[in-house]
Structure 1
Amino acid sequence: MKSINIVVAIVVTLTISSCNISKAQINKPNEQGLSLLELADIPYLKGESRQIFDPKPAKDFDENKWFTNDHCFVTDKKGELHWFGINNPFPPEGKELYRYHPYLGHLTSNSATENWKRQPFAINEIEGTEYVGAPFVVWHDESNRWVMVVEQWREKRQLEVYWSTDLMNWEETKTAILPNKLRIGTRDPHIMKGSDGKYWIHVVATGNKGVKQSQVLRIRTKDFITFEDPETILGINDIEWATLIESPYLKEHNGLWYLFFTYAHRRYAETLVVVSDDPDHFDYEKNVVTTLFGHAAEIVNYKGKEYITSCGPEDAHYLNGHGVTMTELGWLKQ
């Protein structure tokens, strides 16, 4: 019994020492007086961002010019990369820009920057609501299937959940997420599994808790049926009626958190990156680590490489293919 107690004491002592060392290492930069901006690595685009596929399904599909916009990537269980995103023709006569979004595009590839193969539209609302907004897809461990959060436009714009077992066929729920808690225009979901075991849905919005500002919110859920009240993780005091930021993407890198988002109503192709040591709070005024060229950036890890994307715009420009572009993402150590 005495020897067992000695072993337990040694294990407890080593555990406490390990915790103390980790805590000291975490606190050491603050003791040196370094700011988050001094500690942060700086993300940058490595080389030219090139279009990875034509936004139009086929040359003879119709007579319209097509575009892509907000999108996401997911790797299936066989290792194939899937792209889902806004993929539509510019509105024909009688239809409105930003209201005519009938298709959600779907493509697959075995090489992130090339070999993209077009699949049938993931969602086709050409004879329905004529609107599908920005999607995000993740694997839901608890139900052993894929889940998509996407913006729909029924009686009004709202976030909804779709389910799939194969990433090809999607079952709609037609049920709005937190209809009494989220204002119209809450959109552009990003989803990740949090340290609390819940799924964190990040969206852009305004008016959370009565505050009129451009916001990034977090909505927590386990089952994508019930949802916790939204929390504001970033706010910019810039507006009174609608969010002016878009397309959040949250990533942990070397012990710090980086929130990427587009400030589209300042410059369409501008992605700001704010760094934090707390994933629940980001300070736009103090901790913007860099500005990247691109709209609605997504970060993709595939076959050992990390990429960053851009897309759009939804209105015609002469030197723009209106497709998704991609390049490697680099991190500059200070």
Structure 2
Amino acid sequence: MTATQENRTATSIGQRVLNIDWQAKTAGAALYTGDIDLPGMLHARILRSPHPHATIRSIDVSAAMAVPGVVAIVTGSELPDRTYIHHGGPMSDRRVLAQGTVRFVGEEIAGIAAKTAAAAALALRRIDVKYKSLRAATTLREALEPNAPKIHEKGNVSAHRVFHWGAPDPLRPREVSVKGQYRFGRQTHATMETSSIVARWVPEAKILEIWTNTQAPFIVRKEIAHVLDLELESIVIHEIAVGGGFGAKSKICEYEAIAAALSIKSGRPVKLVLTREEEFTCTKSRHSFTIDLETFATRDGLLSARSAQMLVDNGAYNHSGPSVMANGMQVIASLL
């Protein structure tokens, strides 16, 4: 065989390339988080806020703890007073469980772990939370009004960026323009497998084992260590199949830290699987955009400039909204 022939057989160009996990998935042998079943494992549920904006006056879990089969309940007051790292600094503003104030419908208030899923669901209805409802801005325009209720003390604008690219080209005068407003609604990724986790705290070794269908195991490990005040080396993330992510599972998600906290408190493995309703209403989604865009061109159809104002619905807390906005502006400019 000549050297030229050897090089041709070593390349993937023009060849059929199969995914390394295709056999396991097509044969039904791939292991997903929902398949994990550990001895003594508890089933978890999350109590969520019914209000878009409210003060938490009190949380009484006594009736929920009296439900047969309930083993552990955690609330925000029991956890370290820490926020997720995310992008750090002022962008770090969200706790694992709400403390003092809730800022969106579906925000996590408490976690429950019970011997059966039915017991956890019943206990969920027995937790007594007293709220004081507050005014809420429910649209971008409302949130930007001068007298709008503040979602945070610093105000409703998380980030304001001004971008300039390039210089006017004298050979491409602004002779015609097209102007319009474009709206893109919030989009959920609708993955095949809903967000789920199994957490197992091993008290003798002080090791936290985690099986989670994340796209970012190292980020999850780092964030859980931070918010639960654990040593990074004490957390082990096991490899597991991911039933779709598309970016929705590319960062830490609150259910992962909640399951870990419940396992630590109960001393038993805990499985938490979000419902499809929770997946659509409470997990991280693609942001909604409102873009006012004007494009300038020559009479011959050569693009000469663009001017845009972009509003991004960042939600109640920071996550990736500011960086998504920056990426969007760069894309608009790059299309010249």
TM class, shorter-chain normalised? under 0.3
Q: Which has the higher strand share?
A: 1
Which one has more relative contact order, counting CA pairs under 8 Å at least 6 apart?
2
TM-score, length-scaled by structure 1: 0.23
If you compute each CA radius of gyration, which structure gives the higher value, 1 or 2? 2
